[in-house]
């Protein structure tokens, strides 16, 4: 993972987490966000998604640069990366269960399988093609951004549970409106970094 200055890696992680958030700027991982989660499951889902994005991003980069590009099979990227990310779910959940036995990882498999953000970050990172270190930083940043939005939505659900919301806006409508407002708020991070 050498060849990329530490400040560039940090900038890539922060950019992927805050400025170019996969959930708010490109709604790629909205389904797991809108599914109801308890606080402990939010942390388990955030950790599992971050690790899955990092591992699949690095493996996909290596597979692309050492197998697909030399053989001229770059048109098959989607057909290779989709099974790769799906096959990595069980080992990642197994490793997390061994490392943190108190983490509630049961039932996360379908949510990780349906998370388009994992495949999206792999395809976006391969398309950028700025090196393995950039791909690793992008994957970790996207995972941390997903975890941040997942935590924000969990807090939002707790806050609106006891409030008097008009009947047509209860449930999914207020969550989608809140997601739009969060996306606008996250646009404020664009002003923080000027090239």
pLDDT at position 2 is 55
> What is the chain written as a DSSP string?
--SS-HHHHHHHHHIIIIIT-TTTTS-SSHHHHHS---HHHHHHHHHHHHHHHHHHHHHHHHHIIIIIHHHT-GGGHHHHHHHHHHHTHHHHHHHHHHH-TTS--TT-HHHHHT-HHHHHHHHHHHHH---HHHHHHHHHHHHHHHHHHHHHHHHHHHHHHSS---GGGTTHHHHHHHHHHHHHHHGGGGGG---
Q: What is the pLDDT of residue 195?
A: 47
Give the end-to-end CA distance of the chain in Å, rounded to a whole number: 24
Of residues 192, 195, 153, the one with CA closest to residue 14: 192
- Work out the number of other CB atoms within 10 angstroms of the CB of residue 21: 26
What is the per-residue burial (b if ≥16 Cβ within 10 Å, else e) of 168-189?
eeeeeebbeebbeebeeebeee
- Could you list the pLDDT tens digit for every one of the 195 residues in the chain? 556 788 888 888 888 888 888 888 887 777 777 665 677 788 888 899 999 999 999 999 999 999 999 999 999 999 999 999 999 999 999 999 999 988 888 888 888 888 888 999 999 999 988 889 999 999 999 999 999 988 888 888 888 877 888 888 888 888 888 888 888 888 887 776 654
d(CA 33, CA 100): 23
CA distance 69 to 72: 5
Cα–Cα distances in Å, from 3 out to 7, 16, 134, 135? 12, 19, 9, 12
pTM of the model: 0.86
The answer to whether 97 and 90 have CB atoms below 8 angstroms apart is no
pLDDT at residue 194 in the model: 57
pLDDT of the residue at 56: 96
Number of other residues whose CB lies within 10 A of the CB of residue 122: 30
């Amino acid at each position: 993972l050498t060849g990329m200055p530490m400040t560039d890696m940090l900038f890539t992680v922060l950019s992927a987490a805050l400025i170019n958030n996969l959930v708010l700027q490109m709604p790629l991982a909205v389904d797991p966000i809108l599914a109801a989660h308890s606080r402990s499951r939010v942390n388990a889902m955030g950790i599992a998604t971050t690790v899955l994005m990092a591992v699949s991003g690095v493996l996909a980069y290596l597979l692309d640069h050492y197998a697909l590009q030399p053989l001229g099979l770059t048109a098959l990227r989607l057909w290779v990366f989709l099974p790769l990310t799906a096959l990595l779910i069980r080992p990642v959940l197994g490793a997390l269960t061994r490392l943190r036995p108190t983490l509630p990882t049961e039932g996360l498999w379908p949510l990780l399988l349906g998370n388009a953000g994992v495949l999206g970050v792999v395809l976006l990172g391969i398309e950028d093609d700025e090196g393995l270190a950039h791909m690793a930083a992008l994957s970790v940043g996207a995972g941390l951004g997903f975890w941040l939005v997942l935590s924000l939505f969990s807090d939002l659900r707790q806050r609106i549970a006891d409030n008097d919301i008009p009947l047509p806006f209860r449930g999914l409508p207020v969550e989608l409106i809140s997601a739009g407002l969060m996306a606008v708020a996250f646009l404020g991070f664009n002003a923080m970094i000027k090239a």
